[in-house]
Amino acid sequence: QLSNLGSVHFLTGRYDEAASTFDRALALSRADPTASWAPGRRAVVIANQAALAQRLGRYAEALSLYRSLMAEAASLPPGQRGQVLVNQGALYRRLGDPYKALDAYASARAQFTEAHDTGSEAAVLTNRGIALALDLARLSDAAAALGEALSVATIAGNRREALLARLYRGEVLLRDGRVADARVDFVAASAAA
């Protein structure tokens, strides 16, 4: 309950309350480390603390928390491990290391595939495409990743992720000078919106 309450505080911008609530939840999970529920709950709380530190721009703290979380990550289901890896990838991008971000996104995709979560798989492919385009200027690779995201989202019937993949791919194609191809994606994205 404390972890959930901390998440509510986090999502509503009450960061001090979120931090203190996550601290209390972590203390409870450490009070009885042999309890069957403790490792999973502890991992969730640490992931929440890392996301909070990341949101507040405390990147070194977030990176340290993500690293410590990897020891606990086995107790998380694949979908949650995937989300932690996506957050970690975003952190690596902010720290200027797109290669580690791409590695984190690849690992996240594997977790989402294992969890049969095609919406999240499409989203992580979109993140990959954005990193390839903006951080590495590999526009052809970015367009391919976004095309794959569009394909995964379309097969899954996830209209939101398909829309985002089209929109970002249109931008990549435009930057690559492929105006006619970009127009097709922009028109389709506009219709889907």
Per-residue pLDDT of 87-129, as tens digits, reads 999 999 999 999 999 999 999 999 999 999 999 999 999 999 9
Tokens of 143: 């367009």
Helix segments in the chain, DSSP class H: 2-11, 15-31, 38-55, 59-72, 78-94, 98-114, 118-130, 139-156, 159-175, 179-192
- Give the span between the Cα atoms of 148 and 169, in whole angstroms: 10
Q: What confidence score (pLDDT) does residue 16 get?
A: 95
Q: Is the pLDDT of residue 173 over 80?
A: yes
Q: Is the pLDDT of residue 74 over 80?
A: no
Q: What confidence score (pLDDT) does residue 67 get?
A: 86
On whether the CB atoms of residues 120 and 136 are closer than 8 A, the answer is no
Largest CA distance in the chain: 61
Mean pLDDT within 52-78: 87
Q: What confidence score (pLDDT) does residue 110 get?
A: 96
Using DSSP's 3-state secondary structure scheme, residue 70 falls into: helix
- Give the span between the Cα atoms of 3 and 26, in whole angstroms: 8
pLDDT band at 86 (very low <50, low <70, confident <90, very high): very high
Q: What confidence score (pLDDT) does residue 33 get?
A: 78
pLDDT digits (tens, 9 = 90+) for 25-55: 999 888 987 888 888 888 889 989 999 999 9
Q: What percent of the chain has pLDDT above 90?
A: 81
Which position has the token pair 């996830």?
Answer: 158
Using DSSP's 3-state secondary structure scheme, residue 150 falls into: helix
Mean pLDDT of the chain: 93
